[in-house]
């Protein structure tokens, strides 16, 4: 089953938020999802301890660089999707998880520091692909963007990535109060009260579009693999 890793050595790039949004969208569609919480802050594990976690979401939080390969392999045998939220460093654990991934998502804010972190991640992905003698699908996901206007810095980062030939998600994760609320109060976006959360419908639409694009990338990658 597909293994989707979220990686960027730059802290605060939006890895946990985007990983959780994807897991919640897949779970809402009825898929069995295993989340490997390899972030030292354990935000997803804390979310899982709150009310409202779907029964078809399993969270594995006791992860080390020695066990992560076995845990990903075991989770992939038991779930329809495996999502790995990685620590914000370029470590052996991160390299091992990337080597196991079918798709690596690189969350990146519209700032040069995040772009540099993304570049390090892409270099690591390419090195792991060479070692494994296979392509590792990857793409940059712009996060915490403004719904109103794209900043000058964001446009600059997109231009740099385009020039480098890096695949970028068409969907960006927009800064929304709803995304903070599910981490604070638990459950899915659909469980939030629209009277208490601004623009909940737009947040849900954004998350659906992101999940749909992830699935499309996985299907496209699987098709290319079969053709090869």
CA atoms of 155 and 172, how far apart (whole Å)? 13
**pLDDT, position 104:** 97
Per-residue pLDDT reduced to its tens digit, 113-142: 777 778 889 999 999 999 989 999 999 999
CA atoms of 222 and 199, how far apart (whole Å)? 35
Task: Kindly state the average pLDDT of the residues 191-211.
Answer: 96
**pLDDT, position 57:** 97
CA atoms of 228 and 212, how far apart (whole Å)? 25
Residue 154 token pair: 């964001």
Q: What is the CATH number of the domain that holds 133?
A: 3.40.50.300
| Paired residues of 173 in beta bridges | 143
**Full domain range(s) for residue 40:** 3-227
User: What is the total count of domains within the chain?
Assistant: 1
3-class SS at 162? helix
How large a percentage of the chain has pLDDT more than 70?
A: 96
In this structure, are residues 72 and 3 in contact, taking their beta carbons and an 8 Å threshold?
A: yes
Q: Is 30 exposed, middle or buried (0-12, 13-18, 19+ CB in 10 A)?
A: exposed
Per-residue pLDDT reduced to its tens digit, 43-55: 999 999 999 999 9
Predicted TM-score (pTM) of this structure: 0.93
90: Cβ–Cβ under 8 A, 6 or more apart, which residues? 9, 120, 121, 124
Per-residue pLDDT reduced to its tens digit, 32-79: 999 999 999 999 999 999 999 999 999 999 999 999 999 999 999 999
């Amino acid at each position: 089953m597909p293994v989707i890793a979220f990686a960027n050595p730059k802290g605060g790039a939006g890895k946990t938020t985007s990983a959780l949004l994807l897991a919640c969208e897949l779970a809402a569609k009825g898929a069995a999802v295993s989340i490997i919480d390899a972030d030292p802050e354990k935000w997803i594990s804390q979310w899982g301890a709150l009310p409202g976690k779907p029964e078809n979401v399993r969270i594995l939080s006791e992860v080390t660089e020695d066990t992560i390969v076995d845990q990903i392999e075991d989770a992939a045998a038991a779930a329809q999707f495996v999502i790995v939220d990685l620590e914000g460093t370029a470590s052996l654990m991160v390299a091992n998880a990337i080597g196991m991934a079918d798709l690596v998502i690189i969350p990146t804010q519209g700032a040069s520091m995040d772009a540099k972190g993304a570049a390090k991640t892409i270099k690591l992905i390419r090195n792991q692909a060479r070692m494994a003698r296979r392509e590792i699908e990857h793409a940059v996901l712009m996060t915490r963007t403004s719904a109103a206007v794209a900043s000058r810095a964001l446009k600059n980062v997109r231009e740099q990535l385009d020039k480098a030939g890096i695949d970028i998600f068409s969907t960006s994760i927009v800064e929304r109060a709803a995304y903070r609320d599910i981490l604070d109060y638990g459950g899915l976006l659909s469980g939030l009260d629209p009277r208490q959360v601004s623009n909940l419908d737009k947040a849900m639409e954004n998350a659906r579009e992101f999940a749909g694009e992830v699935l499309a990338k996985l299907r496209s990658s699987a098709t290319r693999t079969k053709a090869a």
